[in-house]
Every structure is written in structure tokens, then in C-alpha cells.
Amino acid sequence: MRILLLGGTGEARTLAARLVDAGHDVVSSLAGRVSRPALPVGSVRTGGFGGVDGLVGHLRDGGVGAVVDATHPFAEQITANAAEACAVTGLPLLRLQRPGWERHRLAERFHWVDDVESARPAAEGLGVRPFVTTGRQQLETFAAWTDRYVLVRVVDPPEWSVPHTWEVLRARGPYTYAAELALMEDRRVDVVLTKDSGGALTEAKLEAATDLGVPVVVVRRPPLPGGLGVVESPDAALAWVRSLR
């Protein structure tokens, strides 16, 4: 049975390796939005499917027997497309996503908002030197911040000309507590904006900000499609695949 693994995350790469080791035929699909991505073992395809219809065609023509959606917690569109396409084709679908920060020991101190658009006014009420770590694709939400210093951290550079008051750092996690603490102190950051990506790669900023007394605005994860089975570890996803035999 061929497994289509919608990936791009560390959990997806771990699962791909374990599935290949177990003798499964795995094809990992990457969106192609990040330059020089870390590639999983096994077969890899890059680029979109062309919406639900394109994904349905791929599932039928590619001999796929099951789908694991291990995309980023905020890859809302592909998750919705996968749910609809698997409903059409009757293929089993599992969602693999790392635990979120709603269970973090500091979660009650964070300022939770429902979307990136809501993060901007929330941050404006908390500070004037923001550290934005919400990702590259929605940076233009903060384009009106031309009157202040803004620290932005992204993997790939923005595709538009940011205001001259901004500092753009290109970096890829993991980030250490000491480095995050030093960065926020040096740039005199007074509010942090992030998404509830979860995981350990970027968690240190939460601890560092809290220890510095810097408020943290966290964008909640989008809701998952109804009826979608969810696991939080590659081991649990591997067990699910094995149960299909």
C-alpha cells in the first residue's frame, strides 16, 4: 500500500523514515514554499495538487492507499483539501500534528488571539518594539508599522519591500534560551508575536520573553475538519498505518 505523506514538518520527516524502515511505500509531498527544505527519506514530490479535484485525481491515479497529513498546524487549506479529497475517494486519512502551546506551563500568561489580523491590535496595546515570528506569508498584515522598530525573523526573505524601520533576521530553529534572551535584550523587544506552532524548535522564545517581562501574543491554531482522526507523535501515526493492513 502506498502512503501519501503531506509533509514539510520535522514530525513528517521522522514518520517518513520510520515508514520506509518498516518497508512501506511512502511518497512525501512538500508545498515548495521554503527554499532548501530539509528533505525526508523516500520518494518526494514538490508543489501543489491543484485544489481538491487535483488531489482526488492524484490519489486515484497514483495508487495511494492512505493519507497522513503531517503539514504545519497552520497549513489550513491543504488540511481541508485532504479531508475533502479523502471523503470523495474513501481513503483513510490521519492528521499528525505536534502538541500545541495551549498546554504550555506559561499558557495562561499569553495573550491569545484567533488570527494574525487580531494579533496586530493586541500587540499595539502591549508594546512599541515588537518581535514578529508569525512567518513570512502574512507579514504584510503589519505593514502599517512604519513608525516603529520591528524585529522580524523568517526562514526566507519577504517578497515585498518592508519598511525601513524593520530589521529582518533570516534564521532557522532550533533557538536556545540564552540566544533568545540575548536577542530580545539587545533589540529592546517589548512584545513578542507568534503562532501556536508548538514543538521545541521555537519554544525558547516563550520562556525568554516571560523571564524578561515581555508579553507574548499567540495566534490560536485554526480548527480542524470535523471527524478527522488526530495523533500527536510519529509513533502513533506509524501504529495507525500498521492497523490498516
| pLDDT at res. 245 | 72
Cα(58)–Cα(82) distance, integer angstroms: 11
Task: For residue 35, name the pLDDT band (cuts at 50, 70, 90).
Answer: low
Cα distances from 132 to residues 77, 78, 139, 190, 221, in angstroms, run: 23, 24, 8, 11, 17
Q: Model-level pTM?
A: 0.90
pLDDT for 110: 97
The pLDDT, as a whole number, for residue 219 is 98
Question: DSSP secondary structure string, 21-79?
Answer: HTT-EEEEEE---SSSPPPPSSEEEES--SHHHHHHHHHHHTTEEEEEE---TT-HHHH
The model's pLDDT over 99-141, given as tens digits with 9 standing for 90+, comes to 999 999 999 999 999 999 999 999 999 999 999 999 998 999 9
What tens digit of pLDDT does each residue of 40-88 get? 888 899 888 999 999 999 999 989 999 999 999 999 999 999 999 999 9
What would the grid cell of residue 200 be? Answer: 521545541
Q: Give the integer Cα–Cα distance in Å for 205 and 207.
A: 5
Tally Cβ neighbours within 10 Å of residue 7. Answer: 27
The C-alpha atoms of residue 47 and residue 105 are separated, in whole angstroms, by 37
Contact 168, 185 (CB under 8 A): no
What pLDDT does residue 48 have? 86
- The 10s digit of each residue's pLDDT in 170-215 is 998 899 999 999 999 999 999 999 999 998 888 999 999 999 999 9
Lowest mean pLDDT among 34-38, 169-173, 229-233: 34-38
